[in-house]
Structure 1
């Protein structure tokens, strides 16, 4: 069952407002979430994109052999009566907005070979701290979002696409955004998004994710940067093999594959040719946020001390759930924010070794 929780939009951190210049976006916002004064644009009524007003979106700007890459996870609300859009987001970059891995309050026990706390970037433990306002235009399936700031207006371009149901017919409860480019000096290079008319307070618990209709494989797409090289591709987030942990707010699983070069020792049953990967997915806040993390078990194993929880360069992926008009869970959009670290509690590794990407998983198709 989908639960209504306190809206993520109201979960801002209490901070003293200071003005931040968002060089990557050409926007000016306050750290407390209120938009600072920016040149206003003429607004006119516009259709809701695909007939939907609330979207979850991930956007990033990635270029090889550079360390000024960035990404954000966002919630957009479109206002058709005057053609405006408001957004709130979590943002990271390789400069002054690096982040560290921290434990969530959720212990992943009895759902895999290790018993560790699921980890996530520290910034994601709090609600979105930045808020901006812009305008938008819809021309058929083309959506352009205009973010004003200073003397420029950054353009974010999308194609609004319908989602199919299991019989191939159009699903009226959800639409998808396909990245179509950027303009106005905007440095974004890729993005994913989904929209519906469900409020952002609608979410799925970890127990909901284990319901038969949700316990399926979700097509997983990613685009970003790793060790200075552009990366993109497909994979699968397979809830079909997950099980609920002792703490019902978490699900987990484990698979085996050939490890890379990071392991020196291997726990019983693992080897340099076949090693266990732990996967954790935690609903730590009672809203749409999920903490997704995975790492090779051998990275936390030493013969003298046995198995420990790996606290270094695990893959941490903050995700936002996709919920359709009918309150059904359909997948995620999100990011990987694996900043290089030299020890637990820092992100002091060389930025060129970071792994950053925008991701989506889904959508799960539903029957007519």
Structure 2
């Protein structure tokens, strides 16, 4: 029987069916090839990578660490380090930092001029040599959350990627949920405690094999200069100017009565505020700094007043503090010798609000005749500290 109708429709239908069948066969083959390729890719890539939770959910940290011990144990080889830690959810961490060693006897250098007016002396605000420049070192490494809740940070390479001869680990106590969840904290196990002239120095490895004290605060605010609070904000902004910033200071120094080398714990900050109505800090004219003449302090001598300055320096979160007892100036407007220089980094929370500082002190004693280090190691001060808002629940030493 013929498949052809007079109008040719049957022939067209047969031909169309043949064409469609061919297209379907080619499509099925193509899909099968794609599926095979995808399957091969999955096998090659392996299982999906598990993410490592950020410490307290925070990526960007300001941290100070150091090694302070009795002179009988380290012969005045104390050191301090201040810098940034940046964590990633792939389990890696990097740091870049400024570091100072007591044996190098770093000098105080002028950072800016504090022309604040009033009773505040117009003097140079000084910092520790090197802090105005680029970071002086860095590490790369990994981090993990231990079963006991501590955070283990292991440095394996230097900043250039060269493997260290021996990896070093820091075992931090981690505190989360500060400032309504906007800040987290890390501290070495014995950083906090009572005010005392006799802090027990932990054995090597209790915190780290190379450092024995540390403290840091983290958030997800950027670490660049855009996040830094200005001096005018600290003095004038009601979010900050009525807040007492306080904390702990662990320091290697001389015991005043016995003249022995000790590791002590002191208070930082106090009940004073930047914007106190009766006695506020004063903004500098022409420099990003502020100054204050703090009256009736613990300074020795006839004049009990203490001169204090804080200023912005360099980029990132950097500030610098300097203070000295006015009596030491001996009727001169400025004291040029053994002031207390303190490099600091601001703590900024997830909302971009200022919450205080972590910092270090690198005080090398100098001769008043030359202004140069005189090798009186016992008169140096080397330590690390935090000075933070009540929102960060500072463990105020009693």
Q: Same fold (TM over 0.5)?
A: yes
What is the number of equivalent residue pairs in this alignment? 303
Matches within 5 A, 1:69-108: 69-81=78-90, 83-96=91-104, 98-108=105-115
CA spacing shift, 1:71–1:286, aligned 2, 3 Å = closer
Shift, 1:195, TM fit: 0.2
The corresponding residue for 1:243 is 282
The corresponding residue for 1:278 is 307
1:124 to 115, 127, 131: 131
Cα-to-partner distance string for 1:292-313 (whole Å, 9 max, x where unaligned)? 01111121124xxxx2311100
Distance 1:198 1:50 in 2: 14
Shift, 1:173, TM fit: 1.2
CA spacing shift, 1:120–1:160, aligned 2, 3 Å = same
Tell me the SS of whatever aligns to 2:130. helix
Distance 1:49 1:259 in 2: 39
1:172 to 150, 172, 181: 181
Higher relative contact order by CA 8 Å / sep ≥ 6: 1 or 2? 1
Distance 1:143 1:251 in 2: 37
Tell me the SS of whatever aligns to 2:188. strand
CA contact (8 A) 1:159 1:179 kept: yes
When Rg is computed on C-alpha atoms for both structures, the one with the higher figure is: 2
Cα-to-partner distance string for 1:265-320 (whole Å, 9 max, x where unaligned)? xxxxxxx2x52110001113354111101111121124xxxx23111000111110
1:225 to 244, 252, 262: 252
- TM-score in terms of structure 2 length: 0.71
Tell me the SS of whatever aligns to 1:125. coil
Shift, 1:236, TM fit: 2.0
Q: Does 1:200 align with 2:239?
A: no
Distance 1:252 1:207 in 2: 12
CA contact (8 A) 1:90 1:123 kept: yes
CA contact (8 A) 1:107 1:250 kept: yes
CA spacing shift, 1:258–1:329, aligned 2, 3 Å = closer
CA contact (8 A) 1:72 1:335 kept: yes
Greater helix proportion: 2
CA spacing shift, 1:150–1:286, aligned 2, 3 Å = closer
Q: Does 1:359 align with 2:388?
A: no
Consecutive aligned runs of 4 or more in structure 1 exceeding 6 Å deviation: none
Tell me how large the CA RMSD over aligned residues is.
2.4
Distance 1:246 1:110 in 2: 8
Shift, 1:188, TM fit: 1.4
Q: Does 1:213 align with 2:239?
A: yes
Tell me the SS of whatever aligns to 1:145. strand
Tell me the SS of whatever aligns to 2:286. coil
Distance 1:183 1:259 in 2: 37
CA contact (8 A) 1:340 1:347 kept: yes
CA contact (8 A) 2:96 2:136 kept: yes
Distance 2:93 2:317 in 1: 20
CA spacing shift, 1:260–1:213, aligned 2, 3 Å = closer
CA spacing shift, 1:313–1:153, aligned 2, 3 Å = same
Q: Does 1:295 align with 2:316?
A: no
- Structure 1, unmatched stretches of 5+, are 1-42, 166-170, 264-271
Report the more deviating stretch, 197-206 or 282-291: 282-291
